[in-house]
Structure 1
Amino acid sequence: MRIIAGRCKGHRLKTPPGEGTRPTSDRVRESLFSSLTTLDVLTGAHVLDVCAGSGGLGFEALSRGAAHVTFIERAASVCRVITANARSLRVTGEVEIIQAPAASGAGRLPDGSIDLIFADPPYPMPEAEVTAILDACVPLLRDPAALIVLERSSRSPEPTLPEQLEVFRHRKAGETALWFLQLRE
């Protein structure tokens, strides 16, 4: 996996060994970041990458102008890969890594501190757990323009959203579905 654009363009990222993580494909990341660039949400943003895996989404956001990324990942071995990637990209001062389950890790962050959240839970994760992650993320959103991007299998059902969220945009790319969520007005 590589960084597609921005100041770290072309840098390769290490990925965790085994089948426990599923990096977002280059094609899906290109589509996602094209949308985010159009929405002008990256420059100076404080980003949260939940169920971060290798950190590909968060590092791509940093490369394209985000100010800071917090990664939440459950497995210590995967957190070590994120740390190695941050060192390789020379962005250790712009990242924080929290080793914890997604919902409890999100609960450690101050309310109203995040502009953009990537939630990329494992495809087999039960929908109730996905909803719990979204619930934990809602208080973190800085303002009504802040977004959550939920990545799921295109075969997954429509997510059950906390009442404070609504779907802003929905895209499918092959096996991947992206749900752009925002605070309900």
Structure 2
Amino acid sequence: MRIISGIYKSRKIVAPKNLPVRPTTDMAKESLFNIINNLFYFDDISVLDLFAGTGNISYEFASRGTEQITCVDQDFGCIKFINETAKAFDMSIQTIKSDVFKFLEKSTLQTNIIFADPPYDFSDEQFAKISQLVFQNNLLLENGILIIEHSKHTNLSGLNHFSYSKSYGGCMFSFFEVD
């Protein structure tokens, strides 16, 4: 994986092969960040990266100037890798080792963008629970968005607060906003 833009543009990051992850492809990530770039100034926002995995999305935000980034993942190896990479690049990324659902149930952290990249084989109920907990617990700041990455075979358009989806190959991003 590589960082697409910003101060670390073109830097490659190689994650250990033993991590239980499926990093967002460079093509899909570049398209996603083109959308976000039209909605926000990167240096003015805060980001919560759920199911952070390798930290791929968080590194992209940090490279573009975002300083308030929190990653949540339950895998110790993922959290360790994110911490090591953030330190090597001098990125201000905070990590939390936790089950994402337990974190969302208790969290009071409000951010501009919440990005969730759960396993593609999640059930419809598990995808719905992410959105439900984010909005029920008021975790988005005014004009904030929740972005859920999922397979093109999953349809989240029936969930509350759904706004739109964008498809890139086998990957989709569904966007949710406060009504």
**TM-score normalised according to structure 2 size:** 0.91
Q: How does 1:71-150 map to 2 (within 5 A)?
A: 71-91=71-91, 94-111=92-109, 113-138=110-135, 139-143=138-142, 145-150=143-148
Q: Kindly indicate whether the alpha-carbon contact (under 8 Å) linking 2:23 and 2:56 is maintained by their aligned counterparts in 1.
A: yes
Deviation at 1:43, TM superposition (A): 2.8
Which residue does 1:166 correspond to in 2?
162
Give the CA RMSD over aligned residues. Answer: 1.7
Aligned mates of 2:101, 2:16 — CA distance in 1 = 21
**TM-score normalised according to structure 1 size:** 0.88
Distance 1:81 1:8, change over 3 A: same
**Count of paired positions:** 177
> Which amino acid is the alignment partner of residue 174 of structure 2?
W
Aligned mates of 1:34, 1:65 — CA distance in 2 = 15
Distance 1:179 1:16, change over 3 A: farther
Distance 1:159 1:77, change over 3 A: farther
Other structure's SS at 1:105 match: helix
Moved over 4 A (4+): none
1:177 pairs with 2:178 = no
> Which amino acid is the alignment partner of residue 152 of structure 1?
H
Report the more deviating stretch, 39-48 or 19-28.
39-48
> Which amino acid is the alignment partner of residue 113 of structure 2?
L
Aligned mates of 2:177, 2:29 — CA distance in 1 = 20
Other structure's SS at 2:111 match: coil
CA displacement 1:123-174 (0-9 Å, x = unmatched): 011121122222222221011x10111100011133552x4x231x311011
Aligned mates of 2:75, 2:90 — CA distance in 1 = 23
Unaligned stretches of 5+ residues in structure 2: none
CA displacement 1:71-119 (0-9 Å, x = unmatched): 000111111111111112111xx221111111212344325x2000111
Aligned mates of 1:45, 1:117 — CA distance in 2 = 11
Distance 1:97 1:170, change over 3 A: same
Distance 1:79 1:181, change over 3 A: same
Aligned mates of 1:13, 1:103 — CA distance in 2 = 28
Unaligned stretches of 5+ residues in structure 1: none
